[in-house]
Amino acid sequence: MFILIADVWNYLTNRREAVTHFMITDDIKKSNEQVTFFIDYILRYYNEKLRSQNRGPIQHLHLVTDNCGFQFKCRNHFGWMADYVEEDHGLMTMQHGYNAEMHGKGMVDEEGGSGKTKGTQASMYGEQIENAKDLYLFLKKHHCEITSNRHETLHQITRREFHYFPKGTFLSYQPREVDRLSAVKCYYQYGVRRTGVADAPRSIFQRLHFCPCPNCTTGNRFC
């Protein structure tokens, strides 16, 4: 199980949403090939929603994770980012921030733990959960309700969505070998932008709490 929380702007309600995506699969190898597949899947998922509303695709993507070198903080991931913005996904810039203190302590861990606990308790009381597909069907039916309430804090989860990927979905090899980059140094953040983009990547504005709404991300004003 891989947890991805998407902070997105809902144009229908004109409010920010934090949506937990439970990526459930029989393939337990959490490699860079797998996590980049998930990122691409979720980006396409939201772009399709925007297209149905007659809006353009997401142009700027900001990722925040812990320092896991096998998944994210590695030269292969940087190579994937550099290639991905050049492909036809609508992205102009992509930034990735790393926070070592997030490991085991972030919202993704809380959300993932709640799903695992729910499945474990159900299995102990007679629910038949023998594989990832069973867990996916059970959580989709019984784990949609948000029970923890942070009273409109910026980290309040709005809803949960569930996605299942059978074994064999992911590549078993690394498609991007970055020859000229031997390793990724201990930077807290790096970013890439598409070739030919006239505007520089957007500035990161410092504030006490992070908010991804259009006004805060562009720096026009803080909400």
Question: How many Å apart are CA 115 and CA 140, to the nearest integer?
Answer: 10
Would you say residue 6 has pLDDT above 60? yes
Q: To the nearest whole percent, how much of the chain has pLDDT over 70?
A: 78
Question: How many Å apart are CA 170 and CA 195, to the nearest integer?
Answer: 28
Question: How many Å apart are CA 33 and CA 123, to the nearest integer?
Answer: 31
Q: What is the mean pLDDT of residues 142-152?
A: 72
CA 219 to chain centre: 23
* pLDDT on residue 199: 59
Q: What is the mean pLDDT of residues 43-54?
A: 94
8 Å CB contact between 62 and 95: yes
Dump the DSSP string for 143-196.
S-S-----SS-TT---EEEEEEE-TT-S-SS-S---TT-----S-SEEEEE-TT
* pLDDT on residue 162: 96
Q: To the nearest whole percent, how much of the chain has pLDDT over 90?
A: 32
- Judged by DSSP in three states, 19 sits in strand
* pLDDT on residue 210: 55
Mean pLDDT across the chain: 82
**Least-confidence region, from 15-29, 37-51, 90-104, 126-140:** 90-104
- 49, amino acid identity: K
Q: What is the mean pLDDT of residues 4-29?
A: 89
**Which among 187, 182, 137 has a CA at the least distance from the CA of 164?**
137
Would you say residue 100 has pLDDT above 70? no
Would you say residue 205 has pLDDT above 50? no
